[in-house]
A and B are shown apart, each in its own frame.
Chain A
């Protein structure tokens, strides 16, 4: 085994390792998302967030525009405060945009869907979304159907 072969094969090992890391970064994880800058953060209050998690997607018409960056409970408003980071590319969302928490599929994860309103002013960093719709909790829906059926 000559020194040259050894050096070449070690070079191949390192290249393969770095290529694998590159794949894990670009193809497997969401690093590409970070490249578009941090974007801007807006907040919204929900009566119930259901199973929403940090890092859940934020979409407009099903297209992903950002993600949930923080969730905490606001003890003064008795509501959940959700912060979402929206990519700087999507800086055209009107101030009266509505945020709803939906579920992808029957048991899928929950995400925030934004529905643009009609105002001229747009959402900027630190804005608050006033129109929100909480997550639908299955038990509540079933309970409502049962009471409806009982009154009929």
Chain B
């Protein structure tokens, strides 16, 4: 009994310790952000490995999610003879929820885990420590460019995801199931509000981008410098990002759409 209480206490202390370290680390990153202006090439390089390399999986997943959405919503809507609102149903669910959330989850799996593994491995092979001894700040040289690249990529990828998915829904709904093309788009435009829906979706993806980037670089930087430690850090990145994104999505949805 006492033993389990003690281990609970140790666990809680460990959680608080990591929480504190994570926030101090974030503070450190934010104070070094000026590197982005002085050395934009570093960020562009990371935008390539974080953003461009994730593009394919995001676009393909978007297409399929949109097509499935088109199918499923059509099946439900046609029962009420309301298949002409298919466009707005597809667009609303994508722009508000699925776009930012699914993109963030895919991003954590594709780019976040790679970032953690890369940084963790650099730590394991003493590259970060070596930089420090060469009078190069690894936070500025390694962490900040990756953090910023991830933070920029996610909203862009989320927008691409939503756009491709709406096309997917259009192919299925209009091309395959025979919904009228005009009412597909006009219903969409009538029901999707730019500020209420599109903007809130973008804000969501910005928040997710920040959190996903932070978790990925922190887990890598904080990894135990062994091969097992790096693999655990990679797993933790995916799990923690997924949990954080879903929980934040709930909170943000409540704040944004709660009054309707």
A-to-B contact residues, CB < 8 Å: 1, 3, 6-7, 9-10, 12-14, 16-21, 23-25, 27-34, 55, 57, 64, 105-108
Question: Would A23 and B163 count as touching, CB distance under 8 A?
Answer: yes
Are A17 and B192 in contact (CB-based, < 8 A)? no
Given contacts A9-B48, A10-B52, A16-B160, contact A107 B80 (CB under 8 A): yes
Partner of A28 from B41, B157, B166 at Cβ < 8 Å: B166
* B55 and A6 form a contact (CB under 8 A): no
Cβ of B91 < 8 Å from any Cβ of A? Answer: yes
Instruction: Count how many pairs of residues, one from A and one from B, have CB atoms less than 8 Å apart in the complex.
Output: 92
| Contact call A105/B82, Cβ cutoff below 8 A | yes
Residue B156 at the A interface, CB < 8 A? yes
* A31 in contact with B190 (CB, 8 Å): no
Q: Is B51 interfacial (CB 8 A cutoff)?
A: yes
A21 to B163, CA, bound (A): 8
Whether B48 contacts A20 by the Cβ 8 Å rule is no
Beyond A17-B160, A20-B163, A107-B82, is A25–B44 a contact (Cβ under 8 Å)?
no
| B190 contact set on A, CB distance < 8 A | 30, 57, 64
A24 with B82, Cβ < 8 A, contacts A7-B44, A13-B156 known: no
Cross-chain contact of B159 among A1, A21, A64, A106 (Cβ < 8 A)? A21
User: What are 6 A-to-B residue pairs whose CB atoms are below 8 Å?
Assistant: A6-B44, A10-B44, A17-B155, A20-B162, A34-B194, A107-B81
B156's partner among A1, A9, A14 (CB-CB below 8 A) is A14
State whether the Cβ of B181 lies closer than 8 Å to any Cβ in chain A: no
B252 located at the interface, meaning its Cβ lies under 8 Å from any Cβ of chain A in the complex? no
Contact of B95 among A14, A16, A24, A105 (CB under 8 A): A24
